[in-house]
Structure 1
Amino acid sequence: MRNIIVFIRVYFTFFIFIFFLGLSLALLFRYNKYHNAVYSEAASEITGMLSTQYNNVAYYFELKRVNDSLVKANEALYNKLKADFEIADTAENAIIDALSVDSLNVFRKFLYREAKVVRNSVSQPNNYIIVHRGRNQGVRDEMGVIAPNGGVVGTVVQSSSNFSMIMSLLHSQSNVSGRLKKGGETGTVIWDGKHRNVLLLKDITKSARISQGDSVITSGFSYKFPEGLMLGTVIDIINDKSSSTYTVRIKPAVDFEDLQFVYLIENLQAAEPNELQKNIKNK
């Protein structure tokens, strides 16, 4: 006990210095936008690199159950889907600006990029996924993210030079426009906040005919995702008699605990509608 007291006395000044240094840095990064941005990017890079090393070891001991070549092949197939192209409207003369068009006058709308998952959480109130692909590889905020099976994973919320952070569907602020494939009724898909294998489809009219196992897909109302991607399948219905709508419990199309690779979706035609939305908000 005496030795501990002596140790504290000898290094007391040093401990006080470390405390106030940490406090001053915390205040600097929290209340200064520039320093906060620099800190966030550096932290993302460091976290990404450490997670990459850890993930590489885990990936090796799993004997690379996911085959890299199949992932690349899947990326190529996604980029050839007819749903990712749009036929140009030839009824009026149109000015084509910055969008590639082939000989059949068909525009590419969505482009897919594969990315390796280096960190993933599923047990927090707000879960994130970090992938080894960032701004240097063409990733931008608000890009949609899907799994190799085509199920929706989430949305990119932050990117550094070589890594990106994805807000998983298992997040309190996540919401995706979805619809029942069979009847076409639309609603909003959110997480139930408790179970990693339960999502909620909100605001479905009570006139809808819903059965267990029915598919819930993306509505196409968001510029992040193409229409028709799988969000999940119906588990059951929460019938609140005081409400005029149903809340439908659905099982996610993605196994969030087993993500090794994802595909980032770039909407090549998103700039114009996004600009229109900004102009409306500013009016």
Structure 2
Amino acid sequence: MRKLIEFIRSVYVVVLFVVLEAVAVSYYAHSTSYTQARLLARSNQVAGGVRGLFAGIRRYFTLGSENRVLLARVTALEERLAAYEEAQTAARLDAYMAGIAESKYRFATAAVVGNTANRAQNLLTLNRGRGDGVVEEMAVLSPDGAMVGYVIDCTERYAVVLSVLNTSFRASGKLAGSDYFGSIYWDGLDPHQVVLGELSKYADPQPGQEVLTTGFSQYFPEDVLIGWVESASLNENRTSYTVRVRLAAEMTRLVDVVLVENRDRFEILDLERSEQVKQHTRLK
């Protein structure tokens, strides 16, 4: 009891001050309507601040769940975007393939199941044959569109390709940006190079210049990339260039290829072999 009296004696001044302040504030608050409105506004402001503080604290502790919800939404949107892009790509491919179907060239793909590069007569074997629409004399390109060779024989399931790295291979090639052309062949030396021979002395080939197909060949479309000029030298009579060309196709690393058929090839061959043409070309 004595300690309680001592405690009350030590704090009664503070308690009395608080009680008097409360009475004064109550009297002031009820003195006029203006003061009541001001105190109400201030109390609402303080209460709003306190509620905002606690709301911020609650929001902080719920950030994890909110992030998970946002992540799920982002994932759903990404899936929808991927589906949209896939649909757009499919539409573009359909349009592209429709355009191809209307052109004079027909395209197919195949995998390389056999390949040599260390002989004079190198060949490739493909896992597609007549049953897949492959026919003799189809051009064969690398996946990025560079010259590889052309089909020389087929079975129902397989095809054999005369590689550009074959000393029997022949095609026509030209320097990019010019009308000068010559004969493409392999001399059996370097599996990364072929030769562009019989090129006009006026051609002026430059190192790094692209070498392309001419379109004169019955096998290859025009402007198929063959490679790039590495070096050039005039023959002894200084009438033509012999150009060494770095192949664009990695012949020793081929996995897949693209086959190209000229739809007009048989019509052109039949015309060139017609009896009328033979009559005009027969020696007299």
Conserved 8 A contact 1:79-1:111: no
Aligned to 2:174: 179
Matched, 1:170 2:165: yes
Aligned to 1:273: 268
Measured at CA, do residues 112 and 271 of structure 1 come closer, stay the same or move farther in structure 2, by a change above 3 Å?
same
Secondary structure in structure 1 of the residue aligned to 2:96: coil
Q: CA deviation at 1:229?
A: 0.6
Aligned to 1:15: none
Give the one of 71, 74, 96 matched to 1:80: 96
Conserved 8 A contact 1:110-1:267: yes
In structure 2, give the amino acid aligned to 1:112. F
In structure 2, give the amino acid aligned to 1:176. A
Measured at CA, do residues 247 and 132 of structure 1 come closer, stay the same or move farther in structure 2, by a change above 3 Å?
same
- Counterpart CA distance in 2 for 1:78 and 1:222 is 29
Q: CA deviation at 1:268?
A: 1.4
Matched, 1:145 2:135: no
Q: C-alpha offsets along residues 230-267 of structure 1, whole Å, 9 cap, x if unaligned? A: 01100001222324111110001101010000011111
1:209-248 aligned at under 5 Å gives the runs 209-248=204-243
What TM-score results when the alignment is normalised by the length of structure 2? 0.62
In structure 2, give the amino acid aligned to 1:260. V
Aligned to 2:63: none
- Counterpart CA distance in 2 for 1:192 and 1:182 is 26
Give the one of 128, 132, 145 matched to 1:133: 128
Matched, 1:154 2:136: no
- Counterpart CA distance in 1 for 2:262 and 2:268 is 11
Identity of aligned residues (%): 30
Conserved 8 A contact 1:141-1:159: yes
Q: C-alpha offsets along residues 116-151 of structure 1, whole Å, 9 cap, x if unaligned? A: 000000000100000000011111111110000110
Measured at CA, do residues 254 and 182 of structure 1 come closer, stay the same or move farther in structure 2, by a change above 3 Å?
same
Q: Which has the higher helix share?
A: 2
Q: C-alpha offsets along residues 81-126 of structure 1, whole Å, 9 cap, x if unaligned? A: 89x86xxxxxxxxxxxxxx7xxxxxx42111100000000000010
Matched, 1:207 2:202: yes
Conserved 8 A contact 1:186-1:219: yes
Secondary structure in structure 1 of the residue aligned to 2:106: strand
- Counterpart CA distance in 2 for 1:78 and 1:146 is 22
What TM-score results when the alignment is normalised by the length of structure 1? 0.62
In structure 2, give the amino acid aligned to 1:170. L
- Counterpart CA distance in 2 for 1:78 and 1:271 is 27
Q: C-alpha offsets along residues 11-54 of structure 1, whole Å, 9 cap, x if unaligned? A: xxxxxxxxxxxxxxxxxxxxxxxxxxxxxxxxxxxxxxxxxxxx
How many residue pairs were aligned? 188
Q: CA deviation at 1:215?
A: 0.3
In structure 2, give the amino acid aligned to 1:253. A
- Counterpart CA distance in 2 for 1:79 and 1:188 is 36
- Counterpart CA distance in 2 for 1:262 and 1:205 is 32
